[in-house]
Amino acid sequence: MQGLLLRLSGLDADAESAVRVIAYFDSLVRDHVTVRGMAQATARLAQCPAGFADGSGGFVRALADGSVEYPSAPPVNGAARPLPSGGRVWLEREGRAHGLDEIVLERFAEAAAVAVERAAGPAVNDPALVELVLAEGAGETERARALRLMGFPAAAPVRVLAVSGPAGGLVAGLRAAGRHVRETPMDVPGGTVTAVLADAAGRSGRGEPAGGIGGAEDRGTGAAEPG
């Protein structure tokens, strides 16, 4: 279905085309496409930039050719729709709007909300579980069980990060890229850091850009070892 809808310029603003747009975004949801991938697909479809704001200061902007930027601020102009998570999505079309822009933006917002919810995950978010995973004295069985309770799939590598400053933007950015993330503040000698656990590949099954987290430690959920 995605291959059948490449550009709005080839569609009339009628009910049949609207149904095709709905089916297009439904297919993105079924394929578990990340928010970044949805922005790219929307930009290709609309043939204008499309973007996503996570509500914590992180932005993803896709161009019509599929390339992606990470701006420091959203555009001043553009049609936007809010998300339940506090973020929003937008289209940046120059000139007159296409007759299907409203439904494209509506379906983009709904699909992005699903992707954000999936990335956050329904698993337990107990800080004690994060501490157990990182504890030097934890056994392999206990560590693997804690990771499973937090929603990390069995035998998948997990990246561990220690963030000395605010971690909200990093966590939101990882989730926007389809990563499964859990975090908690931890006391360390000299102060407090935020421990962030993220799966090494997005939920789409494809690797995503590291997003500035290179050099962190990878741990397998089945046999994690303390650093």
Domains of the chain by residue range: 2-120, 127-220
Return the pLDDT at 167.
Answer: 83
Give the whole-angstrom CA distance, residue 70 versus residue 14: 34
Going by the DSSP 8-state scheme, the letter that residue 8 receives in this structure is G
Q: What is the mean pLDDT of the chain?
A: 77
Going by the DSSP 8-state scheme, the letter that residue 61 receives in this structure is E
Q: Which residue has the higher pLDDT, 172 or 46?
A: 46
Helices (H), the chain: 15-30, 35-46, 101-120, 127-134, 140-149, 168-176
- Tokens at residue 80, please? 């936007």
Handedness of CA 8, 12, 16, 19 (dihedral sign): positive
Q: Rounded to two decimals, what is the model's pTM? A: 0.56
The region of weakest confidence among 29-38, 53-62, 129-138, 212-221 is 212-221
Give the whole-angstrom CA distance, residue 172 versus residue 133: 22
Q: In what order do the strands lie in the sheet with 68-69?
A: 68-69, 59-62, 50-53, 88-91, 79-82
Q: In what order do the strands lie in the sheet with 191-199?
A: 181-188, 191-199, 157-163, 217-220
- Tokens at residue 13, please? 């603003």
* Residues with Cβ within 8 Å of residue 5, at least 6 apart in sequence: 11, 20, 21, 24, 45
Return the pLDDT at 147.
Answer: 82
* 206 pLDDT above the threshold of 60: no
Give the whole-angstrom CA distance, residue 58 versus residue 33: 18
Round to the nearest angstrom and report the end-to-end CA distance of the chain. 46
Phi, psi of 5, deg, nearest 5? -125, 95
Q: Name the pairing type of β-strands 59-62 and 157-163.
A: unpaired
* 119 pLDDT above the threshold of 90: no
| pLDDT (tens digit per residue) in 148-193 | 777 776 667 888 888 887 888 888 888 777 788 888 888 888 888 8
